[in-house]
Structure 1
Amino acid sequence: MSQLLLEPPWRPAVLWDQVTLTCQGLGTAGDTTWYRDGQRWWQKGGDHVTVTLSGTYTCDRPGSGHSPPVTVSHDWLVLQVPVRELLEGDMVTLRCRGWRNRTVTSVSYREREKLREPHGGTELSLSPLQLHHSGSYSCKVLVGSWVLHESAPVTMTVHARLELQVSARELLEGDTVTLRCLRWQNNPVTGVRFYHGDEEVGRPLNGAELSLSPLQQNHSGHYSCGGRVDSGVSPWAQSAPVTVTVHVPVANATITPGALAHQVCAGDPVTLHCSVQVGSAPVTFTWLHNGQEVARGPLLELRDIDVGHSGTYQCVATNQLGQDGHRVFRALSPELELEVTPGSPWVTAVAVNVGRTLLFLLLLLAVIGGCHWWHRQGPPQRRGQCWTPTPLPPSGPGLSTGPPRVSPSPAPPRDPQVTNVELSGPCEGQRDPRDCDDVL
């Protein structure tokens, strides 16, 4: 790629500085093509030009392609930063300039949403640079609390002196990963050390690389590296942290409750829960009833079940790992046999007891009714004889007393073959008809 060099080395360049652009790349200088605002500006010219118009410039050298764009500004207020690469630990100066170097006062700088006030003059120094200093900056001129002018924003990027590279970001348990500690633009680095969080994990045997194998889930976390970036006595530099995540395929899917067979009654609610012993998120669950998918999710709730819910149940746990989820892992739980009986034993027992109680009450009522009827009817009357007790003789003065007169005993039963005369009444042939008043 072709490169554009600026003189003076500030960006954005300003027109009143008499900016010179130099194009570097393959091929001869005379074959350089210049572009302004996307249009061909100067074809087959020299490798450097002095800019007289504001705009965005690029150059093209045969075999190198187009250079990154360079902006030449003609605004009333411009914020400039150095063209060079900004590294962690360096010092940088930002300057706010008025049109044609006119004096500006009451300058403030905006770093994203934070305001910074320069300590005298119109320049702002940042030292030592940190990675969090990267961002968008602008400056403005204030008149009281009013903003008179504000510059276009300028993006500033701070690069780490050391960078930790990971050979693969999507890692699975059992894989091998290589950590590389590199200096900015591949400059040499010595005395490299690697850290997992705040703990040192080892020193490389050769160069600035460290291999971790086989990977386990506890290898997940933040890694960084440190080393010396210059020869001799030099400052120590440390890279920004890089997150390493070791993904684990799902395994050992189970269903709770854990028994492999259950007997439930129709109408009873049943809830089954599926889980895995290990497995990186996200994990999805699918329920099978007799081999057919019936639901998804870790819980399977069966309400108002009937005998049709009987059968075998299994859950399938799945997680998709790797870039774009192209590696799919599944774990199948043991089968759970569910048997649904038509009725509840509790309900059956209650029904039997109620039936027995009703039968007992009916028998008791029958006995009470029979006794009551028996007492109302009384003993049966004896027919076919007439018997009247003999009155006792009167007692008193002048009356003789003697042994009581005994009434004759009743006649023995007659022959069942009665005559017409006997059918006229039980007392026919008695001397005194009054003796039969009780019978009649």
Structure 2
Amino acid sequence: MARKVVLLLWAQTLGLAGTQTTWIIMQPPWMPAVLWDRVTLTCQGLGTTSATTWYKDGRRWGQQGHDRLTVTENGTYECNRTGSGLSPPMRVLDDWLVLQVPAWPLLEGDTVTLRCRDQQNNLVTWVSFYHEEKQLVQLRNGTELTLFPLKLHHSGCYCCKGWLKDRQWVVSAPVTVTVHAPLLHVFYWDRQVVEGPQGSLQLLVPAVGVSHSGNYSCQVCSKGGAMQKSSTWLRMTVCMPMANATITPRPLAHEVRAGDPVTLHCSVQVGSAPVTFTWLHNGQEVAQGPLLELRAIDVGHSGTYQCVATNQLGQDGHHVFQALSPELALMVTTWGHRWAVAVNVGRTLLFLLLLLAVIGGCHCWHHHAARKLQDRAPMGVPQPCPTSGSTSDQRRAVRTQRGTVDPCDYDEVL
């Protein structure tokens, strides 16, 4: 699913002017900052957070090794990062009257608002704004001055003067405003230039895909190269809905014998992780996971099987996508099982018959050998008395040869 994406990186997201690679982000984003706003300073630059050092009025200040500092005293603050140097200074004032300008680079054509504030935001009347000591306007009840569109000649030193109740006239500290000429923009993707230098603030990706995921940033610079600024890195992850779920093994009509094991595997050709799999048997959920293992199946396992692949895009929980695989018809047959049982029974009976035949053959061989031994005995030679294990036929044979009843012939004696 291809979609158009426009990355728009505003100038106020960029770092400070010049070639400085360490800068301070101020919150709220007005400068000079005022103590009654509870100001938070964040140090940005190369190196790790533990390499941050804070300075106030040129001396080490606060707890070292933290990139954020909550201001509790007025003064001039700087931060240092190992490998990127010292940041430009940031002032925090606690004066009766303060003139503030936005804390981001001002470009030609922009709109900017200057505001004149009293300590604790008390009412100020008859406010006058000055540029290079020349009065621009006097407002009876207003405290803000809007300049639009910004021109290069708007650069310079500004201050304001207002009437404070019980304090008469008060003049603010001067503030320097710098308006920059139109800039050239360069867009980066994973530290490689993808577009620019150009005048547009936009990077257009007409058909975004998973391959466009990565880290993006932009850099602006003046045409003469005197000013350069780089944005922070923006991580963009392109996710794809589920599509083309399949079941293996194939074909979709599968015939198996009762007692055999069967393993079905579900997969998707398109879709961003994490993916969950749900197995349906005749429309009812029976298992979770990409594999469905059926061991020693029986007739009850017959029916249609289908897997449902699901993924969730975004963190809001509302963008959930599903893909259904084609149905697999599983037929379990029992004839093969019965035939296997019959074969096993037949083999057992055959073994028993062979065993009986061997036993009978051995018995006949012993009987035949005994008769041959008697036939070879000489006439008139007394024969040994047959053992108790001899048969009656053997005893009769001995008696016939002797011509008399042998005492060993127990049958005759009895």
TM-score tier (shorter): 0.3 to 0.5
Structure with more relative contact order (C-alpha pairs < 8 Å, separation 6 or more): 2
Q: Which one has the largest radius of gyration?
A: 1
Give me the TM-score of the superposition, normalised by structure 1.
0.45
Give me the TM-score of the superposition, normalised by structure 2.
0.47
